[in-house]
Amino acid sequence: MKLRVLISIFAAALSLPAAVPVEQVLANMDKAAANWTGMQAETVWTQYTKLVDDSSAEKGTMAVQRAADGRVDLRIQFTEPYPRDLLVRGTEVQIYKPRIQTLEEYDVSKSKDKLEQALLSGFGVSGKFLREHYDVQAVGEEEVAGQQTVQLELTPKDDSMKESITRIEMWVSKTNWQPVQQRLHQPNGDHRTYLYSNVELNPKLKDSDFRIDIPKKAKREKKQL
């Protein structure tokens, strides 16, 4: 009986796909990042809360581009379950909630480094950037959203970063070497998952794609992160 179990375990291990060496993955990401200027995609954000063992999801469309000065601009227009418009430009963050006609404005200059890491670890990221900011391991290979991916595990090198994010799982497409899915783990056991589908790389985006049309009568709330 024990022999049969050992044989089964051995056979199962042989059937698992071998992970692409991490240095090869990072080198491929370096090549892909060199030609990356932006992307459009559909996205699903899923928040898991450990305390109540519950998950909630938001769906929408997104556009992201690297500006001329090197910053990353991001806009996500959520449609489900409630409409919400999120815009990140440099150190300015705007969230517009049309149902209550309220614009929340955040100055994140004090969290600039953390914001840049969060954005750049997801879009057009280079292997060089990941090496500099994280300890990187290749965990294995997995199909995600119909794509063959390599799963990476990233552990922040910056202790202050670990106060908010202890580790990141990233599933990288073996076709274009861009993230298909990310999962950010928090110290309390909560995690947030970002899934991208119908991705269009390097689209022709306009400056107006990164502006929210705010009604004059909308309430404005200034906040600090």
Residue-wise pLDDT for 136-185, tens only, equals 999 999 999 999 999 999 999 989 888 889 999 999 999 999 999 999 99
Give domain status of residue 204, yes or no: yes
What domain range includes position 135?
20-224
- Kindly report which listed range (1-10, 74-83, 181-190, 201-210) carries the lowest average pLDDT score: 1-10
Entry pTM: 0.82
Give domain status of residue 7, yes or no: no
Taking every pair of Cα atoms in the chain, the longest distance, rounded to a whole number of angstroms, is 75
- Residue 24: CB atoms within 10 A of its CB come to 13
How many domains, in total, are found in the chain?
1
**Residue bearing the bigger pLDDT, 89 or 188:** 188
Give domain status of residue 64, yes or no: yes
1-23: per-residue pLDDT in tens?
Answer: 455 544 444 444 444 445 678 99
pLDDT reading at 90 higher than 50 = yes
Give domain status of residue 3, yes or no: no
- Residue 164: its pLDDT value, please? 87
Average pLDDT, the chain: 86
**CA nearest to 145, candidates 96, 101, 180:** 180
Give domain status of residue 148, yes or no: yes
